[in-house]
């Protein structure tokens, strides 16, 4: 291990004036004291704290700066081009952090990006006010008044919002399961892909959480699985 990059940190208490927690692979890992009803447990024993994992402040700052620099650099392009440039970056970052406690971070980042986009619009239309800018570049869709979107060839192109990314908690793999155990129903339902299963069937199993859409029961090994075409 590299000594300059290695340190011992307490995740719950302040030690030697150092804040609790540590950063790893862009995540901040820290524990917070909580009551018995919210506390984590080990073999039924109440621990008195809960582990919270969030995007680290450095990761947030780096991501926002990247988005902001692209918006500044592409002041001269049209709205559709800007959206196509930003979407892969926002989608990738949000998906990476979508399994941890990120909702408030997503909302805050989207708020900052909106203001940056308004400045982008005001730079393009120096004689127009903020209300005119928001009316031109932001649409109201599904009750959301801040959808940065435009139309190209009658197709709606919209910027992915950080705050619209669903939080999907990581589900622990069952203790007796292995990718090599031949249980393609379990792994297809979990991952949506399996080398021995057609892609369409695997994706449907994941979408349906391994349940039959007709009877609602879980598929079992040996069951005959067919794609039902609803007309």
* pLDDT band at residue 111 under the 50/70/90 scheme: very high
Output the pLDDT for position 216: 76
Q: Within 13 A of 30's CA, how many CA atoms are on the CB side?
A: 17
Distances (CA, A) of 34 to 10, 104, 222: 17, 20, 46
CB 49 within 8 A of CB 75: no
Question: How confident is the model over 161-217, as pLDDT tens digits?
Answer: 999 998 887 777 777 777 666 676 676 676 676 667 777 777 777 777 777 777 777
Question: How confident is the model over 112-169, as pLDDT tens digits?
Answer: 999 999 999 999 999 999 999 999 999 988 888 899 999 888 889 999 999 999 888 7
Question: How confident is the model over 15-29, as pLDDT tens digits?
Answer: 777 788 888 899 999
Q: Picking from 17-31, 35-49, 74-88, which range would have the lowest pLDDT averaged per residue?
A: 35-49
Pure H helices in 47-140 = 57-73, 79-96, 103-124, 130-137
CA dihedral 75, 81, 84, 90 (to 10 degrees): 10
Q: What percent of the chain has pLDDT over 90?
A: 43
Distances (CA, A) of 123 to 26, 86, 112: 33, 18, 17
Residues contacting residue 64 through CB under 8 Å, at least 6 positions apart: 109, 112, 113
85 has a pLDDT exceeding 60:
yes
Output the pLDDT for position 118: 95
């Amino acid at each position: 291990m590299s000594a300059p990059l290695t340190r011992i940190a307490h995740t719950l208490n302040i030690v030697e004036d150092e804040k609790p927690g540590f950063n790893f692979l862009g995540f901040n890992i820290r524990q917070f004291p909580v009551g018995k009803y919210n506390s984590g447990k080990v073999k039924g024993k109440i621990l008195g704290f809960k582990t919270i994992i969030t995007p680290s402040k450095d990761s947030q700052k780096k991501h926002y700066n990247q988005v902001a620099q692209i918006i500044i650099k592409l002041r001269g392009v049209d709205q559709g081009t800007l959206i196509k440039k930003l979407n892969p970056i926002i989608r990738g970052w949000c998906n990476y952090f979508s399994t941890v406690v990120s909702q408030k971070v997503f909302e805050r980042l989207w708020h900052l990006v909106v203001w940056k986009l308004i400045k982008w619009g005001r730079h393009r239309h120096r004689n127009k006010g903020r209300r005119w800018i928001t009316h031109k570049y932001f649409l109201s869709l599904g009750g959301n008044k801040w959808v940065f979107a435009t139309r190209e060839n009658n197709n709606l192109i919209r910027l992915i919002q950080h705050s619209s990314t669903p939080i999907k908690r990581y589900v622990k793999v069952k203790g007796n399961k292995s990718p090599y155990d031949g249980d393609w129903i379990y792994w297809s339902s979990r991952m949506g892909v399996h080398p021995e299963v057609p892609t369409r069937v695997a994706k449907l199993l994941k979408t349906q959480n391994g349940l039959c859409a007709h009877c609602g029961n879980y598929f079992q090994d040996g069951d005959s699985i067919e794609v039902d075409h609803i007309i």
